[in-house]
Structure 1
C-alpha cells in the first residue's frame, strides 16, 4: 500500500476505530482529536454525540453538518456451555455477508478475536445447502473450550462485537476499501468542512457533529439537534452505488467518482426544496460534479434533524459506496473531496437573508 497522506491517515484512523450503536466512545475520541484544532468549542450531548462549534458570524444562522459515529455490528447475548458466543445484530445485516467473517469482541479486559461460524457444507443436505443460514443459527467461535473459559477471556453479555477489516487503498489509489464507511466518511466530511473553513469568512455558526446510534433509529441526531437548534441541516452519509453487476438503474444509478449524491427522497424525509436548489446552484457555479439519488428504503440523520423543534430545512449529501452493511465497502476519494468542497461553498452563502429565503422557497 502506498504511503498514507494526512487525509488518508485520518480516514484509516476513523474506519479502523470500533464503535457500534451504544458504544461509540473509541470513534468519538478519534473524531474529537481530528476536529478540535479547527473548532472554537467541542462538547457532547448527554447521550454522547460529539459537537464541534466554529463561529464565523456570531449572530448568523446555525448550520449543522452531521455524520454518525456508529457502524453496524453485533452484541453478545449469551455464551453456551461449550464456549460459543451467540449475538444480536445491532443495525441492519443481510445473513449472506456474515458467515466466516472475522469479528472483534470488545470486552472490559481488552479485545477478543472470533469468527462467525455455522455448520460446514459436508454435513448439510443438498436442499439445506441451497438455503441461506438464518442469523439466529449463527454463532461466534472465540477458541474457548467452555463457558467458564469464555468468561475468563472477559466475554460477557452486552459486549460489543465489531466487524474486523483494515483500511486498504486499492491498486487504483482513489478507490478506498474499509469497514465502517457507513458512516465514518460522514464524520470525515464534518472534520474536513471545519478544517477548510479555518481562517475563512462565513456568515454563520457551523457545527460539525458526530452523532450516535443512527443505525438503530437516528437517535443521536434527535438529541444533538435539540441541543444545537440549527437553522439548516446537512446529513452526510454513504449512499447506494449502482455501478456493480446485478444492479439496474431503476435500483440505483450512482457511480463511484462521479460526485457526491444529493438525496431527493428517502424513507425518512423528502429533501427540502430550498436547500437542494441552493446546493445545486452552488455546484454548478463551482463546477463541482454531483449526482441525484433516491432511496426507497432507509434514511439518514436528516430524517431526525429536519423534524426537530419548529423544523429544520435539511438535505442529505452522501457518498456512493459499494457493499455497505457488510464487513467492507469501497468508495472514491474524489467524491469525498467534492462533497466537502460543495458543503463549504454552500455554507459561505448561508447568511440570514439566504436562510430566510430558503424557508420560503
Structure 2
C-alpha cells in the first residue's frame, strides 16, 4: 500500500468515521480536530453542524464553504424474536448494491458487525430470481440467536448501521477507494481551504462548515446558513463520474482527474450566474482544470444555502466520484486538490466590491 502522507491520513480518518443523518458526532469530532488549528473559533448550530470561522478582515464579506458530515446508511427499527434486525434506509439507497454487504451497528456498548441478508435465490421461483430484492424484504444478521441476545450486545431500535469498508489507495495512487466519500471529501476540502488561507491576506470572513442531515433534505445547511448569514456560499460535494462502461456523454460527461465540477443546475438550485462566471474566470486565469455538469436528479447543500437569510449567491463545486451511495466509492486526488486550490484563489480575489459585482452583474 502507498505510504500514508498527512492528507491521506486525514482522508482515512474522515471516511472511517461512522455518521448517518442525525448521528454525525463521530465525523464532527474528526473534522473539528483537523480544522480547529486553522480557525479563530469553532461553534455548532442547534442540530450539530460544525462551523469554523476564520477572519481575514473584520466586517468583510462572509464566505461559507460547506461539506456535509453525514453519509447514507441505515437505522435499526426492530429486533425480531430470532435476533435479526429490521432497518430503515437513511438517505438514498439502490437495493442492488446492498445485499450481502457488511455493516457496523453502533451501539451504546460498542460496535457490532452485521451483514445484510435476504432469502437465498435457491428457494425462490425462477421469476422471483430475476427481480431485485425489495429493501423491505432485507434484514441485518448479527449472528444473534434471540432478541435477548441482540439486546445484551447493546443493540437498540434507533441505533445506526453504516457500511464497513477499508480505506484503500489503489495501484494508481491518485485513485482513492473508501466509504462515505459522499461527503467527507467536502469536509476535507473545507478543512484544507482554511488551512491554506491561514497564512494568506484576504478581505473576507471564511466559514469552513460540516453540515448535518444533507442526505435527508439539506437540513443542517439551512440552520448553519441561518447562523452565518453568508454573502457567498459554496457547497462542496461529490458529483457523478461519467467515465465508466455503459454511460453515454449525454447522461454524464465528467471524467475523474479532469478537475472539479462546476454544477450549472441541480434539483435544488439554478447556479448563480455571476458567481459561476467569477469562479470559472479565476480557474481560466490560473489554468486550474474544471468541468461543467448538471444533476437534475439530485441536490446539494447549495439548495439550502442560497435561500438563507436574504438569499446568497451560491455555487456547488463537486468531485466526480464513481459508485456513490454504495459501500465503496472512488475519486481522484487531483480533483480534490484542484477544488481546494480553486476555492482558495477565489477567496483571495473576493472583497466587498467583488461581491457586489457578483451579486448585481
TM range (shorter): over 0.9
Instruction: State the distance in 2 between where 1:250 and 1:115 align.
Output: 37
Task: Report what 2:279 is aligned to.
Answer: 279
Q: How far has the Cα of 1:12 moved from its partner?
A: 0.3
Within-5 A mapping of 1:80-91: 80-91=80-91
- 2:325 is the counterpart of 1:339: no
Provide structure 1 residue ranges, at least 5 long, that are not aligned to the other structure.
none
Q: How far has the Cα of 1:241 moved from its partner?
A: 0.4
Instruction: State the distance in 1 between where 2:306 and 2:217 align.
Output: 14
The CA deviation string for residues 101-135 of structure 1, in whole angstroms up to 9 with x for no partner, is 00000101110000000111211111111000000
Task: Report what 1:146 is aligned to.
Answer: 146
Q: How far has the Cα of 1:186 moved from its partner?
A: 0.1
Instruction: State the distance in 2 between where 1:226 and 1:350 align.
Output: 22
Aligned residues: 361
Task: Report what 1:312 is aligned to.
Answer: 312
Task: Report what 2:23 is aligned to.
Answer: 23
Q: How far has the Cα of 1:189 moved from its partner?
A: 0.1
Q: How far has the Cα of 1:153 moved from its partner?
A: 0.9
Q: How far has the Cα of 1:350 moved from its partner?
A: 1.0
- 2:191 is the counterpart of 1:191: yes
State the SS of the aligned residue for 1:191: helix
Q: How far has the Cα of 1:92 moved from its partner?
A: 0.2
Comparing 205-214 with 240-249, greater Cα deviation is found at 240-249
Task: Report what 1:36 is aligned to.
Answer: 36
Query: Which stretches of structure 1, 4 residues or longer, exceed 4 Å deviation after superposition?
Result: none
The CA deviation string for residues 122-158 of structure 1, in whole angstroms up to 9 with x for no partner, is 1111111100000000000000001111111111100
Instruction: State the distance in 2 between where 1:15 and 1:193 align.
Output: 18
- 2:234 is the counterpart of 1:234: yes
Task: Report what 2:111 is aligned to.
Answer: 111
Instruction: State the distance in 1 between where 2:21 and 2:2 align.
Output: 32
* Root-mean-square deviation (Å): 0.5
Instruction: State the distance in 2 between where 1:255 and 1:284 align.
Output: 19
The CA deviation string for residues 246-294 of structure 1, in whole angstroms up to 9 with x for no partner, is 1111110100000000000000000000100000000011110000000
- 2:106 is the counterpart of 1:92: no
